[in-house]
Amino acid sequence: MDPLIAFKSSAQKVIDSLKEELKTIRTGHANPSLVENIVVDTYGGQTKLRLMELSTITTEGPSALTITPFDPSTTQDIEKAILKSPLGISPAVQGTQITIRIPPLSAEQREKLIKVCGTMIEDKKGIIRNLRDNARKNIKTAFEKKEITEDDKFRQEKEIDTASQKFTEEIQVLKDRKEEEIREV
């Protein structure tokens, strides 16, 4: 397989996973993606489902989420899962609906979340660098085995470096956007 295609494919998966991870970091605004992947132990512990598979999640203004279970018997299981989650939010049950108020973030909380975001970003940048280095090793190996010419080697290395730079820039844009969301009051 072409090292550039393999690199781009792997790097895109890293970017996609980063986007999903960043959705789980709390901001000052209510967003369904904040809770949709919470795993709920339901039906007497027989089934583990994500919240988005068990209910409809809607925003109620900028600071509240409403969760409406498809099966009303799962309401208490959903409530327990939200309480156990690391988000530190308390659900309010009204009949079969669950309301979650998202309290505003303190300055200290914002800084902690920005650090968490930064750590995530650095991890992904490291993965991209490793993918780039592996692709360059594959190109070097192909050159040493006389599978490609020296010109091809230099061209492919340059393409890998250019693609790597673009992915790193995309990660930086995601980081800046998320930090802006976190800082927004």
- Output the domain CATH number for residue 120: 1.10.132.20
Whether 151 and 170 map to the same domain: the answer is: yes
**pTM of the predicted protein model:** 0.74
Same domain, 152 and 85: no
Same domain, 97 and 113: no
Based on the domain organization, do 170 and 156 belong to the same domain? yes
Q: How many distinct structural domains can be found in the chain? A: 2
Question: How confident is the model over 55-97, as pLDDT tens digits?
Answer: 999 988 888 899 999 988 888 888 988 888 877 788 889 988 9
Phi, psi of 38 (to 5 degrees): -65, 130
pLDDT digits (tens, 9 = 90+) for 37-59: 888 888 887 888 888 899 999 98
pLDDT at 97: 92
Shared domain for 57 and 11, answered yes or no, is no
The DSSP bridge pattern shows strands 97-101 and 47-50 to be unpaired
**Among the residues of the chain, which ranges form H helices?**
3-23, 51-54, 75-84, 107-144, 150-183
82 contacts 38 by C-beta, under 8 angstroms: yes
Same domain? 170 vs 110? yes
113 and 178 belong to one structural domain: yes
Structure confidence at residue 185 (pLDDT): 67
Range of the domain at 71: 32-101
Question: Based on the domain organization, do 82 and 36 belong to the same domain?
Answer: yes
Residue 105 has pLDDT above 90, yes or no: no
Shared domain check, 118 and 96: no
Of 174, 160, 161, 158, residue with least CA distance to 122: 174
pLDDT digits (tens, 9 = 90+) for 126-141: 999 999 999 999 999 9
Q: Is the pLDDT of residue 10 over 90?
A: yes
Same domain for 116 and 179, yes or no, is yes
